[in-house]
Amino acid sequence: MLLEAEWVLPISSAPIRDGAVWIDGAGIMDVGPADDLRQEHPAEEAKSFPGCVILPGLVNAHSHLEYSAFRDFARQSGFAEWMLRLLLARRRLAAEDYGVSALWGARECVRGGVTYIGDAAFEGWTTIRAANAAGLRARVYLEAFGIDDAKLPQTMDRLEARLEVLRKECGPLVELGLSPHAPYTVSARLYREVARFARRQDMRVATHVAESQAEVDFLGAGAGPLANAYRAAKMWRGERWAPPGIRPVEYLESAHALGPELLAVHCVQVSEADIALLGERGVAVAHCPRSNLRLDCGVAPVAEFLAAGLKVGLGTDSAASNDSLDMFAEMRAALTLSRARAAEPAAAPGVLAAAAPPLTAGQALRLATLDGARALGVDRMVGSLEPGKAADLIVVRLPRGHALARELAPAAPSAFACGDPSGLTPAADPVETLVTRASTSDVKLVLVAGRVVFDAAARTREADERIDRDFGAVRVKLGLSD
């Protein structure tokens, strides 16, 4: 089948005006000008999408679909206050409720053009079943917690047993990873054991790290708002854990947890030395700008990460700390905050100064596609439109105003690549248009492994109504009914 559109954005190569993608079964066979592919494959059925762009499915490098029902839960607040409220609110739901929440979140991801998620989950089966039902590719990172080393053997035994059960549920599009939660919930010994186990099993690992100043204070002195929140929730007793007196990235290094298998989520409160160390160890980063902004954590130095050669993907985090699971909004936030950070006259005390040019629209799009796939280690399969890769792609309507500008713009130069819009006016550049103006409502078609998993013109109302009804019931339990 040939899928044709006004623009095709392979991401790994130049955009193609009036382009097409030839897919056969679950894979991409060829990408190029529509006229050429039609002549080469006259027997192939062709579907045209005028006024649209075809690009690889979006990669959400960090999510928590289990928390989708917490949408609108997070008012603007500090990280520690939010954490306390979340810990207390979680207790209102049963495991089955989190399954309902994850299913709603998976549906929203697909509707928004996401085809691959890196999801951290407490239950695990919740996201696995949701991803399978929605047709999403996923890596589900099973979370691990524990700061009391007296319980470490039981914690690891329980983790391994849960993995054995969950492997039977995964299916062909889902794989498992491990997620020691964060330096303020995981001891150095548990980090070390999880890292060792993951390396033996050839599994990927994700962890939240250096997200907030409260985390830095907690590790440095075992004090501050995060420690107070834990005491209030009766989930931490100081006598069981002594603060290491070092920064978060150093804490993971001391536990031998830094390595090329690790995805470090957030990395807002980092120093130049931290960035250098992450680079030396081959660690990838998941950038969650809207969540960081909502919880007053700061702005991660993503341009500096890229300049240092780190692999960086874009993630929404959870609906408990974000407005939505909208990756288009996430791209815009990454772009806007990077520009704002670069424009600051001087860094505040203790804040890393901007030392690299701000993101471009092309870089923001790469964070949500190919770079996200690289950060998760799946770029040989997804993240760009290339022969031999999986037919995971989306069709997105170009917002109004683009078509007129197209007639006025010169032809795209052959050297044009994602992130280098020279030769095109901003309004006529499909990359700039997508990143600055598109929304989830512009997504028209989503394919995963060549199979349609979302078609805006043929939505199943009955299934949507059932999911929304069950989701609403869970939100009532949280006092968040619509």
**Confidence label for 407 from pLDDT (cuts 50, 70 and 90):** very low
The better pLDDT of the pair 306, 74 is held by 306
* Average pLDDT taken over every residue of the chain: 90
pLDDT digits (tens, 9 = 90+) for 130-164: 999 999 999 999 999 998 899 999 999 999 999 99
Phi, psi of 310 (to 5 degrees): -75, 150
Percent of the chain exceeding pLDDT 90 equals 79
| HSE value, Cβ hemisphere, 13 Å, CA-based, for 93 | 30
Per-residue pLDDT averaged across 429-434, rounded?
94
The pLDDT score that the predictor gives to residue 404 is 33
The pLDDT score that the predictor gives to residue 276 is 97
Closest CA to 90 of 108, 74, 70: 70
pLDDT digits (tens, 9 = 90+) for 250-263: 999 999 999 999 99
Decide: helix, strand or coil at residue 237: coil
Residues 6 or more apart whose Cβ sits within 8 Å of residue 113: 57, 58, 327, 328, 394, 396, 440, 443, 446
Whether 6 and 12 have beta carbons less than 8 Å apart is answered as no
Assess whether pLDDT exceeds 80 at residue 459. no
The better pLDDT of the pair 212, 402 is held by 212
| HSE value, Cβ hemisphere, 13 Å, CA-based, for 200 | 7
Per-residue pLDDT averaged across 410-432, rounded?
48
- pTM for the full predicted model: 0.93
Assess whether pLDDT exceeds 70 at residue 482. no
Strand arrangement, sheet containing 393-397: 27-33, 16-24, 2-8, 46-56, 393-397, 443-448, 451-455
Query: DSSP string of 79-95?
Result: HHHHHHHHHHHHTT--H
Per-residue pLDDT averaged across 313-337, rounded?
97
pLDDT digits (tens, 9 = 90+) for 164-195: 999 999 999 999 999 999 999 999 999 999 99
Fold agreement between 2-55+391-454 and 58-376: no
Q: Residue 384 carries which DSSP code?
A: S
Range in 75-79, 168-172, 269-273, 376-380 the model is least confident about: 75-79
Assess whether pLDDT exceeds 80 at residue 69. yes
Helix ranges, 222-326 (H): 225-232, 248-254, 272-281, 289-294, 302-307
The pLDDT score that the predictor gives to residue 425 is 41
Whether 386 and 29 have beta carbons less than 8 Å apart is answered as no
Distance of CA 347 to the CA centre of its chain: 28
Per-residue pLDDT averaged across 199-207, rounded?
98
Taking the domain 2-55+391-454, which CATH number applies? 2.30.40.10
The pLDDT score that the predictor gives to residue 221 is 87
Tokens encoding 419: 């992130």
153: how many CB neighbours lie within 10 A of its CB? 10
The pLDDT score that the predictor gives to residue 418 is 39
Q: Which CATH class is domain 58-376?
A: alpha beta
Phi, psi of 36 (to 5 degrees): -65, -45
Q: Tell me which H or E stretch contains 266.
A: strand 262-266
CA 277/CA 296 separation, integer angstroms: 25
Domain boundaries of the chain, sorted by first residue = 2-55+391-454, 58-376
The label of the residue with tokens 């907690």 reads 218
The pLDDT score that the predictor gives to residue 343 is 87
Assess whether pLDDT exceeds 70 at residue 393. yes
**Confidence label for 458 from pLDDT (cuts 50, 70 and 90):** confident
Report the number of secondary-structure helices (H) and strands (E) in the chain. Answer: 18, 15
The better pLDDT of the pair 179, 347 is held by 179
pLDDT digits (tens, 9 = 90+) for 84-136: 889 889 999 999 999 999 999 999 999 999 999 999 999 999 999 999 999 99
Q: Residue 3 carries which DSSP code?
A: E
